Amino acid sequence: MSSLIERALAGQPVPRPPVWFMRQAGRYMKEYRELRAKVSFLKLCGDADLACQVTLQPVERFRVDAAIVFSDILPVLEAIGREIRFDKGHGPRVLEPVRSASDAASLRRPDVADALPVVPETIRRFRSARPQTPILGFAGAPFTLLCYLVQGSGSRNWEHVKALLWSEPTTADHILSLLADVVGDYLQSQIDAGAVAVQIFDTWAGILSPEDWRRWSLPYVQRALGRCSGAPRIYYTKDSAPYLDHLTQTGADAISIDWRVDIAQARQVFGPTIPVQGNLDPVALFAPPDEIRRRVRRIIQAAGPRGHVFNLGHGVLPTTPIEGVEAMIDEVHQTRWPET
């Protein structure tokens, strides 16, 4: 019998939805903070043994129904030739942002097996340590990776990114094609290592108008997803609402939505064959447990008995109270759909 999450992602009947959540291994957990006091974030991402330990932390503490391999979306930028840093309090930085055709010419097309070996290795280790727990793989979407590569850091307006799209579209297309191919091969390497599903994070797609999203994000998600198969592929975007009608065109097998969309409406728009993941507001975890439980039940009822994976609408925040996380998971675990 396959796991709950595999069944939910296949649209098969389940007694209750599976639950995992974005950033489930991270700073809101004491175990994670203790390890991070000794080891830098990039070291955690670069060492399969440490990454496997961190991947296990939320699985052991909360009995989530799936693990997500511990890493980040940005090591892909290192693989194409840019150094990255995570400075305390500043978020990620790309040391030499790419803002022109000549900058772009210095990027390389790596062999993914050589350049990005840690995540598949972490997945293999996790599977031998915890064969009964399914593990998910992931990568950043080409457009979201382009955002960091060109802007050089997180940003409110991403002006360098939009300037490149609109003043040097050929250069932007060239970089996005490179990213799509690397991301596609990287996801395939994670499926081959045993990931039961993979998620493509398009966190910053929401900065684009619907027309620009169709021009600059959609084709490259299609291209990346077209290069991998053998397990369900989930597309996540924060600010999903403006593109709701178009999300199934990505070719993804399931869609992960943020909290600003009604999950019942999303299901109606996507149709019965596309499983949906989401969509509790991460800030709801700061509410009293009864309020969290009420919101969890509401989402589960609105999503319906088939094809729903319970998740947050974005990553869990570092200051989140553990009791909130426990209430959410417990409420999902107590759900019982009548047998169909």
Distance of CA 258 to the CA centre of its chain: 12
Please tell me whether residue 26 binds ligand CP3 under the rule CB under 6 A.
yes
Q: Which residue is nearest to ligand CP3 (CB)?
A: 203
Q: How far is the CB of 304 from ligand CP3 (least distance, A)?
A: 25
Active site residue 236: no
Q: How far is Cα 170 from Cα 178, in angstroms, rounded to an integer?
A: 12
- Mark 240-259 with x for binding to ligand CP3 (rule: CB under 6 A) and - for no binding: --------------------
Which residues in 80-99 contact ligand CP3 (CB under 6 A)? 86, 91-92
Q: How far is the CB of 142 from ligand CP3 (least distance, A)?
A: 13
Q: Which two tokens stand for residue 134?
A: 């399914």
Q: How far is Cα 204 from Cα 18, in angstroms, rounded to an integer?
A: 26
Which residues in 279-308 contact ligand CP3 (CB under 6 A)? none
Q: How far is the CB of 311 from ligand CP3 (least distance, A)?
A: 10
Q: How many CB atoms lie within 10 A of CB 111?
A: 10
Q: Which stretch binds ligand CP3 (CB under 6 A): 22-30, 155-163, 216-224, 329-337?
A: 22-30
315 burial type by CB count under 10 A (0-12 exposed, 13-18 middle, 19+ buried): middle
Q: Which two tokens stand for residue 313?
A: 């609408």
Nearer to ligand CP3, 23 or 82 (CB): 23
Q: How far is Cα 28 from Cα 328, in angstroms, rounded to an integer?
A: 15
Which residues in 42-81 contact ligand CP3 (CB under 6 A)? 68, 70-74
For 143, residues 6+ apart whose C-beta sits below 8 A from its C-beta are 176, 202, 204, 205, 208, 216, 217, 220, 221
Active site residue 293: no
Which listed residue (7, 47, 61, 72) is catalytic?
A: 72
The correct pick among 126, 138, 186, 235 for binding ligand CP3 (CB under 6 A) is 138
Are 245 and 281 in contact by the 8 Å Cβ rule? The answer is no
Q: How far is Cα 203 from Cα 92, in angstroms, rounded to an integer?
A: 14
Query: Which active-site residues does the annotation give?
Result: 23, 27, 36, 72, 148
Q: Give residues in contact with ligand CP3 (CB under 6 A).
A: 22-27, 36, 41, 68, 70-74, 86, 91-92, 138, 154, 201, 203, 315
